[in-house]
Amino acid sequence: MNVDEMKDVREFRAGAPKPDRARLAEGRDRLSSAAERGRGRRLRADWRLAAVGAAAALTAVAVLASGLGGGGHSGAERTVPTATRTVPGSVKEVLERAASTVERADPPPTPHAGQWVYEKKLSASPEVWPKSAAAQPEPEPQEHWERYADPRFENGKEGDDRSMRERLRFLDELPDDPAAVLKKVRAYYPSGKGNPEPEGEHDMRALSVLFASQPIPPQALAKLYRALAAVPGAEVTDHLVRDLAGRDALAVGHDEKGQKVRREILIDPHTYQYLGDRWIVVKDYKDTFPGADDTPDRPWKAGDLVFQNALLATGVVDHKGDRP
C-alpha cells in the first residue's frame, strides 16, 4: 500500500465518529460500509481500498485501529456457525431460483429529487490489535440517511463515488446477458491503475457496492444475481450461515487461487432479498507490521469473520431524520 492509498484510508476513517465501526472496511459504504456518517457514504473510498486487495486492506485496518487506541467488535471474529440446513444445488441453480423469485415482485416506487434513502444496519470490523484488556462492545444498529439525488456525487464530480440516483439509473440499464452485465460493472467500478486484481475479486468488489443500492428494482436485482453466478470461481456455501443479525443466510462468494479472505454476498434463503455481506478468512495466515516494533503479528484462522454488514431496514423518506 503506497502513501496515497494510506492517505485515502485515513481520510475516510477520520470522518467516522465511532472508530469501532466497519466503515474502515466498507469505505463510506458497505468496503459496509463504507464511513456512512459525516459527509455521507463515499463509495470511492470503499472501492479504492478494495482494489488494493484483501490482505493489504486488512493490514491497513489493523495498523490504524492500533494507533487509534480503540475500535472494532469482538463479534467481527465469530466463526461460521454449525450447519443448520444444507443448501441444495450449484451456485447457478441457487442464484437462478433467487433471480426467478425476485423478478416477479412489484417494483418499488421510484424516489425523486429531494428525497432521502434511509438505512438501518449492523456493522462489525476487526477488534483493536494488539487486543485490549477491556471487553469489546457488541455492535449496535446504526441509522444513515443518504440524499437520493446528491449533486456533489453526480456527473463525475467525485469519480466513481456516485449518488444513489446515478447507481439506480445504471442498474435500470443493465443488459440481460450475465457476461455483459459483469463487463459493464467492471467498467463502472474499475480497479484503478497500479492495482491489478483477479477478475473474480474485481467482480465481487463491484457487485457488492451495487447490491447495496436502494431501492433496487426487482429486475435489476435478478440480473445482479445471474451475474454473480457468472463470476469466475463463484460458489455457494453448502449450508446456511448466520449473518451479523443472527438471521439465516445463503453465502455466495468466489474461490481464487491463493486466496486468504473471501468476500461473500448474503441472501435471505426464503425471500432471496439481499441481507448484507462479509469477509471471511479461508486460509490461516498472519498480518505483519514492518517498522511497528510494538505491534506483534496478527494471526488469522480459517473461519474468522473479519468485516460484516447486515442490512436491517431500508426505505425512501421525504426528510433526513424521517423513518419509513
d(CA 42, CA 161): 6
Where residue 61 falls (left for φ over 0; alpha for ψ -120 to 50; beta otherwise) is alpha
Ordered alpha helix ranges (H), the chain: 3-14, 43-52, 54-68, 91-102, 164-172, 178-188, 199-211, 218-229
> Distance (Å, rounded) from C-alpha 185 to C-alpha 171?
9
Region at 279 (left for phi over 0; alpha for psi -120 to 50; beta for the rest): beta
**What is each CA distance from 144 to 34, 41, 163, in whole angstroms?**
11, 9, 14
Burial tier of 97 (Cβ tally within 10 Å: 0-12, 13-18, 19+): middle
Whether residue 81 is preceded by a cis peptide bond, meaning omega within 30 degrees of 0, is no
pLDDT at 63 over 50: no
Mean pLDDT along residues 47-65: 39
CA 57/CA 303 separation, integer angstroms: 18
Cβ neighbours of 241 (radius 10 Å): 21
Q: Is 269 or 42 the better-scoring residue by pLDDT?
A: 269
Tell me how far apart the alpha carbons of residues 110 and 291 are, in angstroms, rounded to a whole number.
52
Provide mean pLDDT across the span 313-323: 97
Residue 313 has pLDDT above 90, yes or no: yes
Q: Whole-model pTM?
A: 0.76
Per-residue pLDDT at 33 exceeds 70? no
d(CA 314, CA 91): 27
User: Would you say residue 292 has pLDDT above 90?
Assistant: no
Indicate the average pLDDT of the chain: 79
CA distance 242 to 29: 21
Angle at 40 between CA 36 and CA 42, to 5 degrees: 75
In single-letter form, the type of residue at position 248 comes to D
Lowest-pLDDT range of 49-53, 110-114, 234-238: 49-53
Q: According to the model, what pLDDT value does residue 84 have?
A: 53
What are the tens digits of pLDDT across the range 210-235?
999 999 999 999 999 999 999 999 99
Question: Is pLDDT at 310 greater than 90 in this prediction?
Answer: yes
Cell 469473520 found at: 305
| Residue 130 pLDDT level (bands cut at 50, 70, 90) | confident
Cα–Cα distance between 196 and 322 in angstroms, integer? 42
- Residues facing residue 310 across a β-bridge: 122, 276
pLDDT at 13 exceeding the cut of 60: no
Go through 191-201 and write b for each residue having 16 or more CB atoms within 10 A of its CB, e for each that does not.
bbeebebbebb
The answer to whether the Cα torsion of 197, 203, 206, 212 is positive or negative is: negative
Q: Measure the CA angle with vertex 180, ends 179 and 183; round to 5°.
A: 90
134-165 pLDDT, tens digit each: 767 788 999 999 999 999 999 988 877 899 99
Residues 243 and 249: beta-carbon distance below 8 Å: yes
Angle at the Cα of 317 (from 311 to 321), degrees rounded to 5?
80
Average pLDDT for residues 239-265, to the nearest whole number? 94
**How much of the chain exceeds pLDDT 90, in percent?**
59
State the pLDDT at residue 129.
85
- Can you tell me the mean pLDDT for 189-209? 87
